[in-house]
Amino acid sequence: MHEPQDFFLFPGLKARPWCLLWLLAVALGGMQAQAHPARAPQTHPGWVHPPLLASPAPPKPVEPPLRMSVRDAQGKTLRGSITAFDALGFLFRVRGEQDTRRLSWRVLEPARVLKIHDRLLGREDGEGWLQLGAALYARDAAEPGENAIKRALRADPGLAERAGLARDRKPIGDPAATAHGDDTDAESSERADDSGQAPRKGRSGPLSTGQTQNRFWGTLSDEVMESSVASLLAEAETARQTLGLNLKIYDRSKYYMFVSDMPAGEANRWAGLLDRLYDRLCDTFAVPRGTNVFRGRGLIYVFRQERDYHRFQRVLHEFDSSGSSGLCRSYGNGHVEITLYRQQSDELFSHVLVHEAVHGFLHRYRSHPSVVSWANEGLAEFVAADLVGLYRPREVRDRVARYLERAGGTGGMFDKKPIDGWQYPVAQALCDFMIAQDRGRYRNFINAIKDGKPWEEALEEDYGVTRGILLAAFGRALGLPELRN
């Protein structure tokens, strides 16, 4: 867990990275000042940690520097040397200047980019050539892109599957994920589908069922809460009898009804994780601890076997859950039902459990309007990774920058309902970026949506920026100054 730090400033930045902060301050300068929320207690730090997008990852040094001339984004000729590079751009020291400039490869013609990499990449650097080929294909430069990919495959024939994704202009994923071939990391374990870099199982978004019944939001009477718990118990008993499984109800949690065929010790362990999550969400959204936002309880089914999870969905809901590992159903009558199966990896299972539980909390929090998909999924991913100890800021930032560079933007993420699989880490990074600026304004943004405002109005009026300004600032922090939706 990271040590608590204030969200309003980027800690630990020195020298050139302060330029990012200055640019961000300019972009966000239109926001009205508000009182910053009190720091969360040490024992429950919430989302307090160094911001995700503080500075770019260090590029690879070029020794000796490669002398050349380039034109900058304004068309001005610059003479000097490349001193370092990465997949997105290079550091260029202009002759007569002490500091280096960060330039995108897009300031150069694709054929010249390929030629320069002859000097930068070794013949055996298959991954480097594949990254280059993917970036060139993303620029619709098929000929130089294919030349780069052919060099990648000569160096490492095992890159063929990811090379195919590059040719289709889809995110190629990370080499570590391909090498392991299984879900070992809740953020980097990805499986291909029609999005090219689809998520691990379970990212189908929360499912909404039934017409909204307003009377089941707000403060509920003791009678309603008791009758709701009774109806949930009846549902659990129906599932037990219908499926013929030894499902037990573990009622240790104040906020969740945990139904599972797992042994008691293990079931109570995961119920405890849910209670820690609940306290954290209460702290984040300024809900007094001890407040139960659910109608009765949040109903959670965890099956030991994957086949029983899918059978539950098929038999009780007539729903095909193939390809998923967890689902959150949000009902118009206020109930929340979360189902998943016990995966072998504790990290992956806990990530899916927390992710779906965040959806359930957001359904019940404050009022019935739904949170827009990119904000809903981004928050669920961010909280899940942080709470279970899988938060790797630099890895997420670098991965997101590569995806956005190759896709030429967010792929319309702001307008997707639901967002695509490859956009989940993008939404997570954007969520973290917004919280890093001011978590009080982020809370105001979510609250305004839950109070019925369209999300773009909430962003402008309650967070303080238009979506264009937010996207531009987010892109600059990632080293993508012309990021598009």
How do 89-94 and 336-341 pair as beta strands?
A: unpaired
Contact 321, 310 (CB under 8 A): yes
Residue 292: name the closest of 356, 234, 336 by CA.
336
* Bridge partners, 61 (sequence order): 84
Q: Which of 288, 369, 300 is nearest to 335 (CA)?
A: 300
pLDDT of residue 430: 93
Distance CA 7, CA 52 (A): 11
Q: How far apart are CA 429 and CA 399, in angstroms?
A: 10
pLDDT of residue 337: 95
Cα torsion angle, 354, 358, 361, 363, sign: negative
- Tell whether pTM > 0.85: no
Predicted local distance difference test score (pLDDT) of residue 117: 94
Long-range pairs of 319-325 with CB within 8 A, sequence gap ≥ 24 = 323/193, 323/201, 323/204, 324/201, 324/202, 324/203, 324/204, 325/200, 325/201, 325/202, 325/352
Contacts of 330 (CB under 8 A, 6+ apart): 206, 207, 208, 209, 336, 359, 360, 363, 370
Phi, psi of 359 (to 5 degrees): -55, -45
Residue 112: per-residue pLDDT: 93
pLDDT tens for the chain, 485 residues: list them: 333 333 332 333 333 443 443 444 444 444 333 332 322 222 222 222 333 333 334 578 899 999 999 876 567 888 999 998 877 678 889 998 887 887 778 788 999 999 999 999 999 999 889 989 988 887 888 999 999 999 999 999 989 988 998 898 776 755 543 333 333 333 333 333 333 333 344 445 677 777 888 889 888 999 999 999 999 999 999 999 999 999 999 876 789 999 999 998 888 888 888 888 999 899 888 899 999 999 999 999 999 999 999 999 999 998 888 888 899 998 999 999 999 999 888 888 988 999 999 999 999 999 999 999 999 999 998 888 878 766 666 777 888 888 898 888 999 999 988 898 889 989 999 998 898 888 888 999 999 999 999 999 999 888 888 899 999 888 888 888 889 88
| Phi, psi of 371, rounded to the nearest 5 degrees | -80, 135
Residue 399 CB burial class (10 angstroms; 0-12, 13-18, ≥19): buried
In DSSP notation, 158-222 reads GGHHHHHHHHTT-----HHHHHH-S--STTT-----TTSSPPSTT-S--EEES---GGGSSSPPH
Among the listed residues 100, 99, 95, 103, the one whose alpha carbon sits nearest the alpha carbon of residue 71:
103
Distance CA 347, CA 389 (A): 8
Residue 218 has a pLDDT of 86
CA distance 217 to 265: 34
Which of the 8 DSSP states describes residue 316? H
What is the structure's pLDDT at 410? 93
Question: What is 201-368's CATH number?
Answer: 3.40.30.160
Cis peptide before 64 (omega within 30 of 0): yes
- CA dist 317 and 22 (Å) reads 52
Query: What are the extents of the domains in the chain?
Result: 61-180, 201-368
Closest CA to 352 of 375, 306, 384: 384
